[in-house]
Amino acid sequence: MKGKSIVEDLSDEAIQKNISLNRYIPTTNHGVIAQSQVVLICVPTPLSSDRKPDLSFLLTAVKSVGVNLKGGTLVIVESTIEPGTCRNVLLPILVSESGLDEVEFDLAYSPERIDPTNKAWTINNTPKLVAGFSERAVESAENFYGKFIASITKCSSLEIAETAKLLENSFRLVNISFVNEFTIFCRNLGIDVMEVISAASTKPYGFMPFYPSIGVGGHCIPVDPIYLANAAKVAGAPTRFIDLADQINQEIPGYFITRASEILAGLKGKRILVIGVSYKPNLADTRETPVEKLINGLKQVGAQVFWHDELVKEWNGEQSSALSSDFDLAILATPHNYLDLTKLGDVPILNTRGSI
């Protein structure tokens, strides 16, 4: 109840205001579920250590909801899942744990759509998908979200909405991986990839710009396509694009280790500063960050690796190092707006965001 935000897009003041107005009551007491008309389940569905879908957080949450579920309640799942999970896995758990018949409560699915730090597209104006086990569930979910979201699209089945989420982020993984590979092609030709993308972006149809990076991170883009690929394998469908995109994404940090070695004629004993360790600029979120693979790879070849990120500050038992001229090379991995690279002096900079 301290009213402190751990989300960049949500201020402490907004939390404190809603707590004072009794609109927001944070609690770890699952018993309040029995007093609720609408219950949203928004827990992580990450990958396991062997890069397989991990539903452990979701299953635990659904069981807790089921134990406390009362008739007439609307349960909405927002976590990313494979098609069929709501109907075949989560609904039976809710029925079993609650002792209710499946028609005595409503189950809906509405995949999360949040782009942190995006000021143009917020929770209020980003279109929302809803689907339900029954038409009543769909209507109830639409009515709930309609109170604060401008545009809502109803899907004809739970499976349509589940799969739409996987398609959205698989599309992004494939295209980001492609542009990262395309960046290597442009560098080999001595062409500025950013200028190429800018030129191609003048086409008003059939093209959408994606930009080079150290690889994709966060809780969605590197994870959701693996859920899709896993479901496709079960269904006996090919996933060659996703498999290749995932492979390219995993290899990009290694490419920049090679680049760094070329610049310094070897990395053993060299002092390397990696700038930005979060998965996205201007965030402190390090989930699935590709920078971790870059740092581990640099250490494996004998480099002395330091990192700077004043938004993250502490990570993997290490502290953020100051920007200074006391390094052999700086690798710009995640360019936060606050960065003042002039503090590096004459230290050469390897820019992972499209430099030749």
Predicted TM-score (pTM) above 0.85: yes
The sheet with strand 329-332 has its strands ordered as 304-308, 271-275, 329-332, 349-351
Q: Check residue 1 and give its pLDDT.
A: 59
Q: Where do the domains of the chain lie?
A: 36-158, 253-351
Q: Check residue 354 and give its pLDDT.
A: 82
Domains 36-158 and 253-351 share a fold: yes
Of 221, 239, 220, 219, whose CA–CA distance to 229 is shortest?
Answer: 239
**Sequence-distant (≥ 6) Cβ neighbours of residue 210 within 8 angstroms:** 172, 175, 176, 178, 179, 197
The dihedral region occupied by 354, where left means phi > 0, alpha psi between -120 and 50, and beta the remainder, is left
Query: At 174, which helix (H) or strand (E)?
Result: helix 158-189
| For the chain, percent of residues with pLDDT exceeding 70 | 99
Q: Check residue 116 and give its pLDDT.
A: 85
CATH 1.10.10.60 fits 36-158, yes or no: no
How far is 279 from 313, CA to CA, in rounded Å? 14
CATH architecture of 253-351: 3-Layer(aba) Sandwich (3.40)
Is 186 catalytic? The answer is no
Q: Are 211 and 352 in contact (CB under 8 A)?
A: no
Q: Which two tokens stand for residue 17?
A: 């205001």
Distance of CA 40 to the CA centre of its chain: 19
β-bridge partners, 130: 154
Q: Check residue 355 and give its pLDDT.
A: 64
Q: Give the β-pairing of 128-132 and 106-109.
A: antiparallel
Of 101, 110, 106, whose CA–CA distance to 140 is shortest?
Answer: 106
How far is 145 from 124, CA to CA, in rounded Å? 9
Q: Check residue 30 and give its pLDDT.
A: 94
Q: Check residue 112 and give its pLDDT.
A: 95
Task: Name residues of the chain where pLDDT drops below 70.
Answer: 1, 355-356
**Sequence-distant (≥ 6) Cβ neighbours of residue 105 within 8 angstroms:** 69, 70, 71, 72, 73, 74, 75, 94, 98
